[in-house]
C-alpha cells in the first residue's frame, strides 16, 4: 500500500470517494469487504483544492476537513521563485531526478522526538484558550473541535524542534494557528456575505487572547 497519498483537486471527487478517506486518515487502516488492513507507517494524505472553479465540485464535509492536520494556501510564486521554476524545468522535470533524503525509520524517529518537545502548562492553556475563542466568536457558527487543540499543540512542538528548541513558546502557537485552525471553522452566513476569511477571524482571536507572562525556566522545565 502507498504511504503518501495525493488527492489532486479533492473537491472534484464524489462524496463517496471523499468519505472513503476518513478511515485511513483517522485510524490509519482501510476496510475492504469486511476485512481491515493496517496501513504502513508513516502514512500521509495530502490533497489539493482549486479555490476558483466550483462548477462540478463537492465541498468537503466538516468531519473530513477536521481530519486534515493543516491547510496551506500556496498562491502565486514571487518573481525570483518563478524564474527559479523556469530554470529548474529548462531541460528536465525536477521530479525525475529527486532523491530520497531520509528513511521511513528516520522520519518516524523525528516524529517521535517532536512529541517529546516540552509543552508548559501555561502554553497548553494558551492553546486551549485560542481554540475555545473560536467557539464563541460572533462571526463563527461552528468553532474548532478538540482535534484543533491537538493539531495546534503538535504543530507547535514540531515547529519548536525545527527551530532548534526543546520547548514551545507562545509565538510557535501563533505562527501555526491559522494553518491548523482556519479550515476547521464554519463562519456565520452574514460573515460569508461580507467575504470574511477564517484566517481573519484567527488573527482577531490571536490579538484578543492574552498570553500569560511565562518565565524561561517554566518553558524549559
- For the chain, give every domain's residue range: 1-68, 102-221
| Residue 29: strand pairing partners | 38
Q: What is the CATH number of domain 102-221?
A: 1.10.8.80
* Dist. CA 73–CA 131, nearest whole Å: 21
* Dist. CA 170–CA 40, nearest whole Å: 34
Half-sphere CA count of 15, side-chain side, radius 13 A = 5
* Dist. CA 66–CA 181, nearest whole Å: 9
Average pLDDT over residues 133-160: 95
Least confident stretch, 56-65, 84-93, 94-103: 56-65
pLDDT at 150: 96
Average pLDDT over residues 154-183: 95
CATH of range 1-68; options 3.40.50.1220, 3.30.470.10, 1.20.140.10, 3.40.50.300: 3.40.50.300
pLDDT, averaged across the chain: 89
pLDDT at 160: 95
* Dist. CA 4–CA 41, nearest whole Å: 10
* Dist. CA 55–CA 42, nearest whole Å: 35
Tens of pLDDT, residues 173-208: 999 999 999 999 999 999 888 888 999 999 999 999
Question: Same topology for domains 1-68 and 102-221, yes or no?
Answer: no
Amino acid at each position: 500500500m502507498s504511504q503518501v497519498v495525493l488527492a489532486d483537486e479533492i473537491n472534484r471527487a464524489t462524496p463517496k470517494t471523499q468519505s472513503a478517506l476518513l478511515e485511513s486518515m483517522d485510524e490509519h487502516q482501510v476496510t475492504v469487504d469486511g476485512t481491515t488492513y493496517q496501513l504502513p507507517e508513516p502514512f500521509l494524505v495530502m490533497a489539493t483544492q482549486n479555490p476558483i472553479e466550483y462548477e462540478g465540485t463537492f465541498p468537503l464535509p466538516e468531519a473530513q476537513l477536521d481530519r486534515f492536520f493543516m491547510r496551506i494556501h500556496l498562491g502565486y510564486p514571487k518573481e525570483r521563485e518563478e524564474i527559479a521554476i523556469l530554470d529548474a524545468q529548462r531541460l528536465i522535470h525536477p521530479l525525475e531526478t529527486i532523491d530520497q533524503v531520509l528513511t521511513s525509520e528516520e522520519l518516524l524517529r523525528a516524529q517521535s522526538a517532536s512529541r517529546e518537545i516540552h509543552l508548559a502548562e501555561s502554553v497548553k492553556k494558551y492553546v486551549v484558550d485560542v481554540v475555545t475563542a473560536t467557539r464563541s466568536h460572533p462571526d463563527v457558527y461552528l468553532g474548532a473541535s478538540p482535534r484543533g487543540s491537538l493539531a495546534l499543540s503538535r504543530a507547535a512542538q514540531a515547529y519548536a524542534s525545527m527551530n532548534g528548541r526543546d520547548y514551545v513558546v507562545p509565538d510557535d502557537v501563533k505562527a501555526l494557528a491559522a494553518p491548523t485552525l482556519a479550515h476547521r471553522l464554519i463562519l456565520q452566513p452574514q460573515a460569508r456575505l461580507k467575504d470574511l476569511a477564517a484566517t481573519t477571524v484567527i488573527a482577531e482571536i490571536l490579538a484578543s487572547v492574552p498570553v500569560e507572562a511565562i518565565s524561561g525556566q517554566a518553558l524549559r522545565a
